[in-house]
Structure formats: structure tokens, C-alpha cells
């Protein structure tokens, strides 16, 4: 019983840390305008500062699409894409490490044998699960990053899935950020097309994962 209480306390601590970071960023009023100001003042170090700031804000669940759009407005579509993607990867790696450090063992201690089996399946199929979550619209990537850490997904598979899954949407948002003055331009149309294509690909990956999920002893899907 004491071990379970400690495990629950560790998971609660993780939640409190994430919530505190989110509240701090919200209260501070940090947004795209502030980030753009920091980057302009940094001069040649602007891209590096943007990656670091974007990665740190992502840990506080700052929307990645806002970061990518700001990258497009600041650096253009060509340079903004790798800059925004690096920020997303920095956020992903930091979130996974934090969640793994604080919550992975704690969650495992609270799970039933059946739930542990499901967790092991998710960890084994982590690449596909993360890829689908990144491609499907409406799934909060910040939450997925932390869930991947407590689910035991490996870092290599996780980052590979984040990079591949985030790329089309990153290009779309960066292109949209670069086309804010003329959203009906060809660049804006490309952004919309990439977003729709990514969504369809995510739904396909998710469908295959659902079909491959483990079964119970009675043959029913878990």
C-alpha cells in the first residue's frame, strides 16, 4: 500500500509540474509576439534562440502549431521548417525524459497485470502510435509527449515518429505563417493540402494500429 501511495504521489507530482509550467507561461503572457521580439534582438543567434525558446515553451504545453507559424513568419518557409522541427524535437525529448524520470516506474507500480500487458504493447508499437497521434488532427502533441514517457516508449522510436509525423504539419504551419499577408496564395493552398494529407495518413496508421491491438484470453480486443 505504501508503494502504491508513493507511485500515485510521483504521478501527481508530474501533473503538478506540467500544470505549474503551463500556468507560469500563461500568467507571464508569453506568446508569438514576445518570441518574435526575442529573436529579432538576438540577431544572428535568433534561430538558435527560437529553437531553445520553442522547445522550452513546449514543455509547458505551448501549442506547437503556434511555434511553427511564428517560425514561418520570422524565417520564411525554407529556413523556418527545420527551425520549427528542431524546436518540436527538443520539446518531445525533454517531455519524454521528464515523464520517464518521474512517472514511468510509478505508473507501472499502479497497473494491473492486464494493464501492464497493454502498456507493453503500446511501448512495442510506440513508433506507430506516436506517428498516428502526430498526423491525426486535434490530438494535443504536448500531452502525447508526456504519455509516451510514462508508457515506456523508446527514445529513438519516439523521436523518429515525432520527426516524421510532425514534418508535414510543420511545413504546413510554417508555410501558412509565411503567407499570413496573403492566405489565399499558392503557399496557403499548399499548407492546407499538406494538412489534409497528413490527417488522412494519420487516420490510416491509427486504423492499422487498432486492427493490430492485443486480444484478451477470450479473443476480444483489449
pLDDT per position as a tens digit, 170-208: 888 887 776 555 555 666 677 677 778 877 887 888 777
Chain centroid to CA 78: how far?
22
Burial class (CB in 10 A: 0-12, 13-18, 19+), 211: exposed
Q: How far apart are CA 87 and CA 102, in angstroms?
A: 23
Evaluate if residue 212 carries a pLDDT over 60.
yes
Query: What pLDDT score does 160 carry?
Result: 94
| pLDDT single digits (tens) 42-77 | 888 889 989 998 899 899 888 888 888 888 888 887
The three-point CA angle 99-105-107 to 5° equals: 80
Query: What pLDDT score does 218 carry?
Result: 46
Q: Which residue has the higher pLDDT, 186 or 91?
A: 91
Evaluate if residue 87 carries a pLDDT over 90.
yes
158 contacts 92 by C-beta, under 8 angstroms: yes
**CA dist 78 → 36, 50, 73, 174, 201 (Å):** 18, 15, 11, 9, 23
Q: How far apart are CA 89 and CA 58, in angstroms?
A: 10
Percent of the chain with pLDDT over 70: 86
Q: Which residue has the higher pLDDT, 215 or 142?
A: 142
Amino acid at each position: 500500500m505504501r508503494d502504491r501511495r508513493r507511485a500515485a504521489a510521483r504521478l501527481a507530482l508530474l501533473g503538478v509540474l506540467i500544470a505549474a509550467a503551463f500556468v507560469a507561461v500563461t500568467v507571464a503572457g508569453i506568446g508569438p509576439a514576445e518570441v518574435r521580439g526575442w529573436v529579432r534582438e538576438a540577431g544572428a543567434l535568433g534561430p538558435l534562440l527560437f529553437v531553445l525558446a520553442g522547445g522550452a515553451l513546449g514543455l509547458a504545453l505551448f501549442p506547437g502549431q503556434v511555434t511553427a507559424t511564428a517560425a514561418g513568419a520570422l524565417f520564411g518557409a525554407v529556413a523556418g521548417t527545420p527551425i520549427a522541427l528542431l524546436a518540436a524535437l527538443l520539446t518531445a525529448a525533454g517531455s519524454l525524459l521528464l515523464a520517464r524520470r518521474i512517472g514511468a516506474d510509478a505508473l507501472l507500480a499502479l497497473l494491473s497485470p492486464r494493464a501492464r500487458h497493454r502498456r507493453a504493447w503500446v511501448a512495442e508499437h510506440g513508433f506507430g502510435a506516436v506517428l498516428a497521434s502526430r498526423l491525426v488532427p486535434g490530438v494535443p502533441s504536448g500531452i502525447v509527449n508526456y504519455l509516451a514517457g510514462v508508457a515506456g516508449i523508446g527514445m529513438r522510436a519516439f523521436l523518429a515518429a515525432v520527426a516524421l509525423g510532425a514534418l508535414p504539419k510543420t511545413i504546413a504551419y510554417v508555410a501558412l505563417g509565411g503567407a499570413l499577408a496573403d492566405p489565399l496564395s499558392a503557399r496557403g493552398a499548399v499548407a492546407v493540402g499538406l494538412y489534409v494529407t497528413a490527417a488522412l495518413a494519420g487516420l490510416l496508421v491509427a486504423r492499422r494500429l487498432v486492427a493490430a491491438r492485443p486480444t484478451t484470453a477470450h479473443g476480444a480486443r483489449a
